[in-house]
Chains A and B, each alone.
Chain A
Amino acid sequence: MGLTSPALSYVLAVVTAGVLLGVILAWRRLAGPGTRAIALRAVCQLAVQACALALIFVLVNGSGEFYSSWSDLLGLDHGAAQVQATAGVSTASVRPVVLTGKTSVRAAGDGAAAGVLESVRLYGELSGLSVPGAVYLPPGYPAARPPGGYPVILEISNAIDSTTSPYGSDRLAGIAAMLIAAHRMAPALVVMLPATLGPGDDGCLDVAGRPATTQLAGVAPTLAQTFFATDLPAILQSRYDASVSASRWALLADGSGGYCALHLALTTSWQFSAAVVPPGSYTAPPGGAVRSPELARQDDLIWLLHHQPMPPVSVLFVGSASDIGFGRAEPLAELARPPMRVSQTPLGTGGSPLTGVLGWIAKAIGGAPEEQ
Chain B
Amino acid sequence: MQLFLQRVFDGLNNGAAYAVVAIALVLIFKATTLINFAQANMAMFGTYLTWMLATQQGFPIWGAIFAAMLLTAAGGAVIERVLIRPFDPTNHLPVVLITLGLSLILEAIAGWKWGLEFHRFPSPFPAKPTDFISIGGARLRYETVGTLVTMFVMLGVLYLILNRTKVGLAFRAVSSNTESSRLVGVKVGPTLMFGWALAAAFGTLGGTLVARQTNLEPAFMAKLVIFAFAAATLGGLDSIGGAVIGAFIVAMIQSLLVGYAQQIPGLQWMKSNYALVIAFVVILVVLLFKPAGLYGTKRIERV
A associates with B: no
Chain B: residues with CB nearer than 8 A to chain A?
Answer: none
